[in-house]
A and B are shown apart, each in its own frame.
Chain A
Amino acid sequence: GENVEQHPSTLSVQEGDSAVIKCTYSDSASNYFPWYKQELGKRPQLIIDIRSNVGEKKDQRIAVTLNKTAKHFSLHITETQPEDSAVYFCAADISSNYKLTFGKGTLLTVNP
């Protein structure tokens, strides 16, 4: 089955700095890669996703890049704000959209 590795497990940055979270996956058949933000006690919320036919996608301060050859994808957050503090999860899906495999999460702390 699919295996998703996520690094780092914790990340602390100063407000205004950039944050980068990286994930690797094992199954080359995976073709959908979402990123979720989860605040304490809340459900995961989709913040951005990318399909395998796209190398990069951007939405305001958030961007995701995908390298299918190397089987890794990354989340980039620019101009971080304290409200970006949360746990972020990457995930991968093998074109079936009912079997998401998640990374173990990154606790991002943005210090004012």
Chain B
Amino acid sequence: NAGVTQTPKFQVLKTGQSMTLQCAQDMNHEYMSWYRQDPGMGLRLIHYSVGAGITDQGEVPNGYNVSRSTTEDFPLRLLSAAPSQTSVYFCASSYSIRGDYGYTFGSGTRLTVV
């Protein structure tokens, strides 16, 4: 199993450009989520999904869109990048089976918007 795979690892965008951060998992986890990490702020939830076709907003959703057409993939779209979106982005997948929980994080995407 590859676990959670994020691409790209690094990206530089100009203000106003759009891009999609890719996230894929091969563990058949039902739940997937996106977090951003900024210095001194911990990880903050952007969007999450409880299954294919179902998504919802987290703590900091503005400026980001998501979709979940398959169990495996959960891309994060920046429609018009802003310098405030410079951050490290982590995708995670998780499960819950009979009271047992598990989260797996991807290796992250470091995004710089200039």
A contact residues vs B (CB 8 Å cutoff): 1, 6, 9, 32, 34, 42-46, 49, 51, 89, 91, 93, 96-105
A68 to B73, CA, bound (A): 36
In the A-B complex, list the 3 residue pairs whose CB atoms are closest, starting with the nearest: A98-B31, A102-B42, A104-B42
Given B35, B96, B103, which contacts A46 in the complex, CB threshold below 8 Å?
A: B103
Interface residues of B (CB under 8 A from A): 31-33, 35, 40-45, 48-50, 58-59, 90, 92, 94-96, 99, 101-103, 105-108
A100 to B104, CA, bound (A): 12
List 13 contacting pairs A-B, 8 Å CB cutoff, sorted by A.
A34-B103, A43-B90, A43-B106, A43-B107, A43-B108, A93-B101, A96-B50, A96-B96, A97-B102, A98-B33, A98-B48, A98-B50, A102-B44
The reply to whether B31 and A97 form a contact with Cβ atoms under 8 Å apart is: yes
Is B33 a contact of A104 with CB atoms below 8 Å? no
User: Using Cβ atoms and an 8 Å threshold, which residues of chain A touch B43?
Assistant: 44, 89, 91, 100, 102
Among B43, B99, B107, the one with the most A-chain Cβ atoms within 10 Å of its Cβ is B43
Task: Check B106 against A99 for contact (C-beta < 8 Å).
Answer: no
Q: What residues of B have a CB within 8 angstroms of the CB of A51 in the complex?
A: 99, 101
Asked whether B42 lies within 8 Å of A103 as measured between CB atoms, the reply is yes
Which of A6, A9, A42, A99 is B45 in contact with, Cβ under 8 Å? A99
Known: A89-B43, A97-B102. 12 other contacts (CB 8 A): A32-B101, A43-B107, A44-B43, A96-B50, A97-B31, A97-B96, A98-B31, A98-B32, A101-B45, A101-B59, A102-B42, A102-B44
Q: With both chains docked as a complex, state the minimum distance between the C-beta of B35 and any C-beta of chain A, in angstroms.
A: 8
Q: Are B90 and A99 in contact (CB under 8 A)?
A: no
The residue on A at minimum CB distance from B92 is A100
B41 pairs with A104, CB closer than 8 A: yes
